[in-house]
Amino acid sequence: MTRSEVLTGAKLRAGRKALRMSQAELARRTGYSRDTVRYWEKKGVIEARCGAFQAFVEALGLRIYSRSNARARIWGLTLLQAERERLEERVRAERARLREREVAKAAHRRVCCGARTRKGRPCRLLSEPGRRRCKFHGGKSTGPRTAEGRARIAEAQRTRWARWRREMGKDLK
Ligand SMILES: [Zn+2]
């Protein structure tokens, strides 16, 4: 709803001019006097449709709304907007809840350990909750704590990556 759709005398005048109709002609067609036409065309915003104005509007085939009507339309749109925002908020809350639940489940999930045992077979024990390995294969480990321990892990990982790259390279040749 735009302001221009509010019912005004100027709107009526513009509608009449658009049809190249004189005030006298509009008066004749509606059965009112030319003074009445002039009176309504000089009015600003028109609050309620009276008989004469309604007749002019219909004679000119205009579609315009009274101010109270326009306000009701705006109010309706505001309600729609508020409703949509409430809905979006509910969807957001539901997504956050699912994500939280997923994180909580991951923290308790137990998978097959799979670490290579001394016999060369994969370990068949379940991992510690939320970890990848069982308690015998580092599932309870909280990672290296000392600088020396961290360096050792970093070195082991570098070695492992280097070996992996070498083997991939071999496959590619
Ligand atoms: Zn294990």
CATH class (in words) of the domain with range 3-68: mainly alpha
CA of 143 to the centre of ligand 1 (A): 16
Ordered by start, the domain boundaries in the chain are 3-68, 148-172
Residue pLDDT, tens place only, 46-96: 766 667 888 888 888 876 555 555 555 655 556 666 777 888 888 999 999
CA of 107 to the centre of ligand 1 (A): 18
CA of 9 to the centre of ligand 1 (A): 87
Residue pLDDT, tens place only, 7-44: 788 888 988 998 899 999 999 998 999 999 999 999 88
Q: Which residues contact 134 (CB under 8 A, 6 or more apart)?
A: 113, 115, 123, 125, 126, 127, 128
CA of 108 to the centre of ligand 1 (A): 17
State the alpha helices, DSSP H only, in 61-138: 67-108
Three-state SS for 128-154 is CCCCCCCHHHCCCCCCCCCHHHHHHHH
> What pTM does this model have?
0.36
Ion ligand 1: protein residues whose beta carbon lies under 5 Å: 113, 115, 123, 125, 134, 137
